[in-house]
Amino acid sequence: MATYKRWTATEIEYIRENHTSLPDEYLAAKLSKITGSNITTSMIRRQRRKLKLTKSRGRPPINLQKENSEEVISTSSVD
């Protein structure tokens, strides 16, 4: 029998906030890095469908500058 991931509120919130502006591959990689668990693109897709979050057709415009600036803020506060 398969085991399913139990999503935390912060992971779900991250998906809700970024699903329109970032591709699923980037969301999966970012959440994998944050949580330390292996999160795949199919897991992200399944969770978006469960939350009834839709994406527009085509490639989303990626605003990685915003993401990188948030990483700098979060890593500098840890030190």
pLDDT digits (tens, 9 = 90+) for 16-50: 999 888 889 999 999 999 989 899 999 999 999 99
Is there a domain that residue 21 lies in? yes
Is there a domain that residue 20 lies in? yes
Is there a domain that residue 1 lies in? no
Number of domains in the chain: 1
Tell me how far apart the alpha carbons of residues 43 and 41 are, in angstroms, rounded to a whole number.
5
Q: What is the pTM of this model?
A: 0.67
pLDDT at residue 14 above 90?
A: yes
> Which amino acid is residue 76, in one-letter code?
S
Give the pLDDT score at 4. 80
Is there a domain that residue 16 lies in? yes
Q: Would you say 47 and 15 are in contact if contact means Cβ atoms under 8 Å apart?
A: yes
Tell me how far apart the alpha carbons of residues 48 and 53 are, in angstroms, rounded to a whole number.
5
CA dihedral in degrees (65, 68, 74, 79; nearest 10)?
A: -130
Structural domain that includes position 18: 9-78
